[in-house]
Chains A and B, each alone.
Chain A
Amino acid sequence: MDFSFPKEYQLFRRMVSDFAENEVRPLAKAVDREHRVPLETVKKAAALGLMGVPFPQKYGGMGGGEMGYCIMMEELGRVCTSTATVIGAHTGIAAMSIYLDGTEEQKQKFLVPLASGRLIGAFGLTEAQAGSDAAAIKTTAVRDGNHFVINGAKVFITNGDIAGIMTVMAVTDPSLGAYGGITAFIVETDTPGFSIGSLENKMGIRGSSTAECVFQDVRVPKENVLGQFGAGFLTFMKSLDIGRASLGAACLGGAQAALEGCMEWTMAREQFGVPVATKQSVYFMIADMAAEIEALRSMIYRTAWLIDTHQPHIKEAAICKLYGSEVASRCVHKAMQIHGALGYSRDYWVERAYRDARIAEIFEGTNEIQRVVLASNLFRPYGMRIPS
């Protein structure tokens, strides 16, 4: 057992931290207020190799594995949840799905531009009537010679309007259901017939875009089938399984930043003639934050290690997302309480952190779905099937 980070990962963390402080933090407030994606930051991240951290260098990545990727997401989560969301959806689920199940040609053609940051990726799963019930998608892909013709609409797609490449899940045989009847495709968004519907007006992560993506007779060459024909649901679920660990890492960063901000404030703010840090009602909240954050940190990096060493990790990744999002929510709730009225003001970081944190309990599988994933994986060895 060795819990220390190897030297190169320590150096990597310092590099990402510098980037986050110098390039991401100065824009965090503005992108939230102006409701815009910080594309200039994405460009700078690409120049540093931060758009493909987990992937091998031969695919344009940094070769940092899940460990490196979680380190980056933690550091980004500290300063700007929106930026973490943009880079996270691009890397952790969109590019990841191609890395996991793409052919060598597909990786060269699509993963390389994604990992190097020349193009932004999006993950096209959710539909209006298919959220938690992901297998209920209605988007179809029909074979036409050497092409598939995709029709349908995806909603709540992070990066949808800025993506060059989108992995899309579509029904190819309605009679076969989730396993066998759904296929994954790689879609270049400049293909005719692809368009953006409405953009969502969200409570938080307002520096990331959430788009409706419409497919009207979008013709995709058959070479763009991702993974085995009919096995698209599995490809997407595998990507989500891994994505959950890094999502938890972003929550870890957010929670840690809340803790540090609270410590600073409680030492400076005086009421009743003393710093509020000396009040038990206050420092117990801080102690609880620290306890949960340390437990989460152990969970995140143990799961990253499981993934990097190719061990089973589905339960652990679900726990990272479930526990991570709840810890982050509890920490920002306490942070707002500790800051009183100031915490409720949009002039201060707490308010944005509070809105931003709430999404992590919902997206990439609500926390209810994480519990379904956990329970079904716990009972499966006993032959017990858990319905959703």
Chain B
Amino acid sequence: MDLTLSEEQSMFKKMFADFCTKEIRPKGEHIDQAEEPPEDLLAKAVDQGFWAALVPEEAEGCGMDVYTFTLMLEELARADMSTALILSVHNCLVVKPLLLYGSDEQKKRYLEALALGEKLGAFALTEASAGSDAAAIKMTATRNGSDYVLKGSKNWVSNGSLAGLFLVFARAEGGITAFLVEPETAGVKVGYREKTLGLRGVPANTIYFDDVHIPEANRLGAEGKGMEIALKALSLSRLGLAAIALGATERSLEEAVQFSIEHIQFGGPIALKQIIQNYVADAKTQIEALRSLVLHTAWLADSGQDFGQEASIAKLFGSRVAYEVTNRMLQVHGGYGYMKDYAIERYYRDCRALEIIEGTSQIQQFLIARDIYKAQGLEIRP
């Protein structure tokens, strides 16, 4: 067992930190207040290889291992959570499934555009009546000669209005099936953008599919493979969210520590108060425990082992820690923490999404419990 970073990983980490601190961090406040997707930053991130993180080097990608990828998301989230989430969705939920399930022809057609910043990926699974119960989706994919006709609508599609490629899940004759859909296709319409508590730089849209004709060549994987593809992508993405939680909590702790040193009450910095020290110590403890979990899960993934349950655990734990740490670090700021002039106010709102998106905490609990009981021969249902 050796937990030290390889030379290559260290180099990546330093590069991530430099870019995120210099380019992204100063923009965090503006992204939130203007509710503006950070398109300029995303364009700059192309040169850093952030769009091509998981694409193998032989396909002109960065070829990061999963652990290095989590370091990237951690540093992004430390600078700005909206930017981190946009790139997590792109890499985990679109690029990765294409790598895993795409035909050579599909990869040839889309991988380069995704990797080089021409097409941002978006993942269209959730519907109005299918949230936690993802398998209840109603959108249909009906055969029409060599085409499929997609009909239905998707809600809360992150990256929606920015997307160059949607990974869409619909009901075909053989079951839930995945499709690659370009937004320019006739019948695709980007609709309502959600107004959210936080993550205000991430456009989350309703997307309408009104008799959208898609050639069979755009079906990802076989008919009926859709849920497998979605769940596999979500596993990686849940690990990604845990890494985002890690970066966000590190930043929150950093902000609170700085504030507690500078803010004088009762004749000295509040950092000298035992309760502040305890808050800070607890936050650090939670952050380091989360780091170990992210590292362990990434190691499982990098060594080719099944990491689905660990990813759920990391997401459940990471999102809870993110809430608790941002809540406490806001409290350290007192009244200032409630004001938009301080980064902690934004991180508190941003982090609350982590307990909800890509499977609520309750769904993670179900998935973890299901695996535990399955090993004992007992099947449980949600």
Contacts and interface: CB of A to CB of B under 8 A. Distances in A.
Contacts, number: 113
Nearest to A201: B340
B156 interface: yes
Band of interface residues on B: 35 or more
A203 B345 contact: yes
A254 B341 CA distance: 26
A133 B266 contact: yes
A345 B199 CA distance: 11
Interface string B117-150: 0000000001001111100100000000000000
Interface in B267-326: 267, 270, 275, 323
B191 to A, nearest CB: 14
A137 B5 CA distance: 51
A241 B100 CA distance: 63
A230 B256 CA distance: 36
A55 interface: no
A337 B365 contact: no
B177 to A, nearest CB: 21
Task: Select the residue from A133, A340, A354 with max chain B CB neighbours within 10 A.
Answer: A340
B331 A344 contact: no
A368 interface: yes
B110 interface: no
A133 B126 CA distance: 49
B334 A281 contact: no
B335 interface: yes
Band of interface residues on A: 35 or more
Contact of A272 (B133, B323, B353): B133
A345 B196 CA distance: 4
Interface stretch (B73-81, B234-242, B355-363): B355-363
A201 B341 contact: yes
Interface in B326-341: 330-331, 334-335, 337-341
A359 B336 CA distance: 11
A200 interface: yes
B132 A344 contact: no
B382 interface: yes
A202 interface: yes
B338 A362 contact: yes
Interface string A332-354: 01001100110111110001001
Given A133-B266, A345-B194, A202 B331 contact: no
A81 B156 CA distance: 28
B345 A282 contact: no
Contacts of B197: 344-346, 351, 354-355
B382 A272 contact: yes
A203 B349 contact: yes
A367 B330 CA distance: 12
Nearest to B204: A341
Contacts of B355: 337
A363 B340 CA distance: 16
Contacts of B345: 203
A232 B195 CA distance: 46
Contact of B357 (A337, A341, A347): A341
B219 interface: no
A62 B197 CA distance: 39
A271 B349 CA distance: 26
A133 B273 CA distance: 12
Given A363-B335, A368-B275, A340 B266 contact: no
Contact of A368 (B195, B331, B366): B331
Contact of B335 (A156, A272, A279): A156
Nearest to B133: A271
Task: Select the residue from B156, B335, B382 with max chain A CB neighbours within 10 A.
Answer: B335
21 contacts: A126-B335, A132-B265, A133-B265, A133-B267, A136-B265, A156-B335, A203-B348, A271-B130, A281-B366, A282-B362, A333-B323, A337-B356, A337-B362, A340-B131, A344-B194, A344-B197, A351-B197, A361-B331, A362-B338, A366-B334, A367-B331
